[in-house]
Amino acid sequence: MQSSQPPYTSRGRGFIAGSALMVLVPKLRGKIGVYVERLAARLPPYPDAYTLAGLAATFAGCALVLRGNLWVGVALFVLGALLDALDGAVARAHRIVSRRGGFLDSLSDRLSDAAITYGYSIFAPAWLVYTAGVAALVYSYARARAEAAICKKLEGVGVLERGERLPVQLVIYLVYGLVGNAAALMLLAAYTVALLIALVDRSLRLYRVLGYLDSGSE
């Protein structure tokens, strides 16, 4: 007697594997960060150059992905991410942290986010790509605007910072290349929903924090 259960498709396997990677990959950041800090101390002290090189690599990766050269494009995304991780580490290692460098790094991060997200248009509808891109930008803007209002860093207010988002974004490309459109589309949709939820959560929490500070200053 045949089972009435549908066969376990590659789409399902790809979605489950991708979901697991979305959870596990960000947890490796701490371990990777140790090696990045060690490497940074041995590199020339030009953090802005690493920032710009990382941005150039990401833009080139996006162009290649859109032209159908997925794996080279993803490799350039990874290179861009590594260079982006190095700029701040190099500045700290050589004690040359600056406001100008921080501004350039933040601007580069937003442009890189947009480029990586735009590449999803090879398999996803425009409305989903647009939603994911805008949600990521507004999520980062909410923190930046709150920090500007109180002149203080706001670490840990919300999840899915860029360091958590970037590995997930790359996993979506890997699932697309190895499994196919459908699994990658499901992962992108899940990522976008998670990002929207995180955006609402961060906005409400920051709104309450700023309201508390306003009431305390009266």
Closest CA to 199 of 167, 155, 168, 160: 160
The reply to whether 87 belongs to the active site is no
Number of other residues whose CB lies within 10 A of the CB of residue 148: 9
Confidence band (pLDDT; 50, 70, 90) for 3?
A: very low
The per-residue pLDDT for range 37-91, each reduced to its tens digit, is: 777 878 888 999 999 999 999 999 999 999 999 999 999 999 999 898 888 889 8
- Topology of domain 10-217, CATH: Four Helix Bundle (Hemerythrin (Met), subunit A) (1.20.120)
Confirm if 108 and 84 have CB atoms less than 8 A apart. Answer: yes
Report angle CA 105, 107, 110 to the nearest 5 degrees: 110
Q: How far is CA 151 from the centre of its chain?
A: 24
Alpha-carbon distance 68 to 123, whole Å?
Answer: 11
Rounded to two decimals, the pTM is 0.81
User: Which of these is catalytic: 84, 87, 105, 109?
Assistant: 109
Of 175, 76, 169, 194, the closest CA to residue 118 belongs to: 169
- pLDDT tens-digit map of 180-218: 999 999 999 999 999 999 999 888 888 888 888 778 655
- CA dist 81 and 74 (Å) reads 10
